[in-house]
């Protein structure tokens, strides 16, 4: 094992953590915002086109099409699943514009509103694990598709636990492909000065464990916050270890 205080394979020198659903309970915030945004849009479209309204499923649709992906990729992926094509638009589209970027910006506005009204909490088991990894001398970075990553870390009171942050802002600036491509995790390893084989990826999203597998990381830890079916899917998509809480990787 990497160290007696954290149960990871030998040779692991760094930990790369997804944010939403791994470190903080913001996955619920994102699922809520996606559902509010898509349901409002689908309702508008159904009324305009005379179609049947089929609402966004905050469980299945969220996991299959948007979880872990950059915002606009998530919009595009879900719309494709419904056979809906919209103009791409641009990043400065107003939230009310009927474009991929407009809908994505509407979703982001809702996320910020929910964060301000409800706040955000870090998972206690994850905080304990990150503290143990720090004390064991392991390098630590957050790798998230969220452009609000820094704000969420601050709100949860855990920003100081990490040495580097690769988030949606960095990905856009550096033109890094989003998950399931391995680019952002590879950038996280590079920022910490370690090879992919010496880093462990921690992910709750299927697209995220796929990116860990694609990058040939030394370990891909799937974090199951849902059910037995998702636990199995995490393994199928590339997780080498699956836990329900990161505290399971600490000595009992």
State yes or no: is 18 an active-site residue.
yes
What is the largest distance, in Å, between two alpha-carbon atoms of the chain?
Answer: 62
State yes or no: is 20 an active-site residue.
yes
Q: Yes or no: say if 212 and 201 are a contact pair by the CB < 8 Å rule.
A: yes
> What DSSP state is assigned to residue 220?
E
CA end-to-end distance (rounded Å), the chain: 15
Which alpha helices (DSSP H) does 60-205 contain, by range?
60-61, 71-81, 100-118, 124-135, 149-156, 168-174, 183-192
Q: Yes or no: say if 185 and 165 are a contact pair by the CB < 8 Å rule.
A: no
CB atoms within 10 A of CB 229: 10
Catalytic residue among 3, 20, 57, 118: 20
Phi and psi at 184, nearest 5°, equal -70, -35
CB burial of residue 163 (10 Å; 0-12, 13-18, 19+): middle
Q: Yes or no: say if 47 and 234 are a contact pair by the CB < 8 Å rule.
A: no
> What DSSP state is assigned to residue 178?
P
Catalytic residue among 10, 18, 67, 92: 18
Which alpha helices (DSSP H) does 25-99 contain, by range?
26-49, 60-61, 71-81
Among all residues, which ones are annotated catalytic?
18, 20
């Amino acid at each position: 094992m990497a160290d007696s205080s954290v149960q990871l394979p030998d040779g692991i020198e760094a930990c790369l953590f997804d944010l939403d659903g791994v470190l903080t309970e913001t996955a619920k915030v994102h699922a809520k915002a996606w559902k509010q945004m898509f349901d409002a849009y689908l309702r508008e479209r159904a009324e305009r086109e005379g179609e049947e309204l089929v609402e966004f499923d905050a469980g299945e649709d969220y996991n299959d099409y948007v979880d872990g992906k950059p915002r606009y990729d998530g919009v595009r992926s879900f719309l494709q699943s419904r056979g809906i094509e919209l103009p791409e638009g641009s990043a400065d589209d107003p939230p009310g514009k009927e474009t991929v970027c407009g809908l994505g910006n509407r979703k982001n506005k809702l996320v910020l509103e929910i964060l301000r009204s409800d706040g955000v909490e870090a998972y206690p088991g994850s905080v304990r694990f990150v503290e143990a990894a720090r004390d064991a001398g392991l390098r630590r970075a957050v790798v998230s598709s969220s452009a609000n990553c820094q704000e969420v870390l601050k709100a949860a009171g855990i920003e100081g636990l990490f040495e580097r942050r690769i988030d949606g802002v960095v990905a856009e600036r550096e033109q890094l492909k989003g998950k399931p491509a391995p680019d952002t995790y590879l950038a996280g390893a590079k920022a910490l000065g370690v090879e992919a084989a010496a880093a462990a990826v921690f992910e709750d999203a299927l697209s995220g464990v796929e990116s860990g597998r694609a990058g040939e990381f030394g370990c891909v830890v799937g974090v199951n916050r849902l059910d037995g079916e998702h636990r199995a899917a995490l393994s199928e998509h590339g997780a080498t270890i699956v836990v329900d809480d990161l505290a399971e990787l600490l000595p009992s």
